[in-house]
Amino acid sequence: MPKRTQFSRSSSDSDSPRKNLGSSVSTEPGPGPSSSSSSCKVNNKSSVWSGLLVSPFSIFDSEPKGCLRKGEFCCSKKYNGIVGIGWTSAVKRMINSSSMRRIFGMDKTGIPNGSKSDIWLLGVCYKVVQDDDSSIEPTQSEGFSAFVDDFSSRILVTYRKGFAPIGDTKYTSDVNWGCMLRSSQMLVAQALLLHRLGRLWRKSMDKPLEQKYVEILHLFGDSEESAYSIHNLLQAGKTYGLSPGSWVGPYAMCRTWETLARSKREETGNADVSLAMAIYVVSGDEDGERGGAPVLCIEDIVKHCSVLSKGEVDWTPVLFLVPLVLGLDKINSRYLPLLAATFSFPQSLGILGGRPGASTYIVGVQDDKAFYLDPHEVQPVVDIKVDKLDVDTSSYHCNTVRHFPLDSIDPSLAIGFYCRDKSDFDDFCIRASELVDQSNGAPLFTITETRSSATSVEYNDRLTSDTGVPELDSFDAVSPGESDGSSRPEDEWQLL
Between CA 173 and CA 170 the distance in angstroms is 9
What is the chain's alpha carbon radius of gyration, rounded to the nearest angstrom? 22
Bridge pairing between strands 456-458 and 446-448: unpaired
Between CA 196 and CA 200 the distance in angstroms is 11
Among 218, 231, 376, 403, the one annotated catalytic: 376
Among 179, 254, 297, 398, the one annotated catalytic: 179
Inter-CA distances, 208 with 18, 21, 195, 244, 312, Å: 17, 19, 21, 36, 35
Q: Give me the DSSP letters along 447-474.
A: EESSSS--SEEE--S----TTS---GGG
The string over 60-91, giving b where at least 16 C-beta atoms fall within 10 Å of a residue's C-beta and e elsewhere, is eeeebeebbbbbbbbbbbebbebeebeeebbe
Helix then strand count (H, E) for the chain reads 10, 16
179 is catalytic: yes
Inter-CA distances, 295 with 62, 288, 452, Å: 41, 10, 12
Count of C-beta atoms within a 10 Å radius of residue 169: 12
* Biggest distance spanned by C-alpha atoms of the chain: 70
Nearest to 472 by CA among 345, 305, 224: 305
Between CA 265 and CA 309 the distance in angstroms is 11
Among 149, 174, 374, 410, the one annotated catalytic: 374
> Which residues lie across from 296 on neighbouring strands?
447
374 is catalytic: yes
Query: Phi and psi (nearest 5°) for 158?
Result: -120, 180
The DSSP secondary-structure symbol of 4 reads P
Between CA 296 and CA 130 the distance in angstroms is 38
CA neighbours closer than 13 Å in the CB half-sphere of residue 239:
9
419 is catalytic: no
Bridge pairing between strands 159-161 and 378-380: parallel
How far does CA 349 lie from the centroid of its chain? Answer: 6
Task: Look at the alpha carbons of 50, 52, 53, 55 in this order and tell me if their dihedral is positive or negative.
Answer: positive
Nearest to 447 by CA among 468, 412, 419, 406: 419
The set of catalytic residues is 179, 374, 376
